[in-house]
Amino acid sequence: MKTALKRILLGGMVALGLAALASANPAIEGHWRLDPAASSALDGWHKIDLNIGLDGSKVAVAYTMQWRTTIHEATNVFDTNAPTEQQDFFRVEQRHMAVYPAKHGVTKSTAAWIDGGKTLRTEALTPVEVSQGDVIMRITTEYRVSELGDKLTVIELHSTRNRPLVYVFNKVTGEDAK
Per-residue model confidence as pLDDT tens digits over 86-105:
998 998 875 556 788 888 89
Predicted pLDDT of residue 49? 97
Q: Which amino acid is at 121?
A: R
The residue extents of the domains of the chain are 2-177
Q: Which helix (H) or strand (E) holds 16?
A: helix 2-22
pLDDT (tens digit, 9 = 90+) per residue, 137-149?
Answer: 999 999 999 999 9
| 2-177: CATH class | mainly beta
- Is the whole-model pTM more than 0.85? no
pLDDT band at 121 (very low <50, low <70, confident <90, very high): very high
Sheet strands (E) in the chain: 30-34, 47-55, 58-67, 70-79, 84-87, 100-101, 106-114, 119-130, 133-145, 151-158, 165-172
Separation CA 160–CA 173 (nearest Å): 36
Using an 8 Å Cβ cutoff, are 152 and 59 in contact?
no
Confidence at 21, pLDDT banded by 50, 70, 90: very low
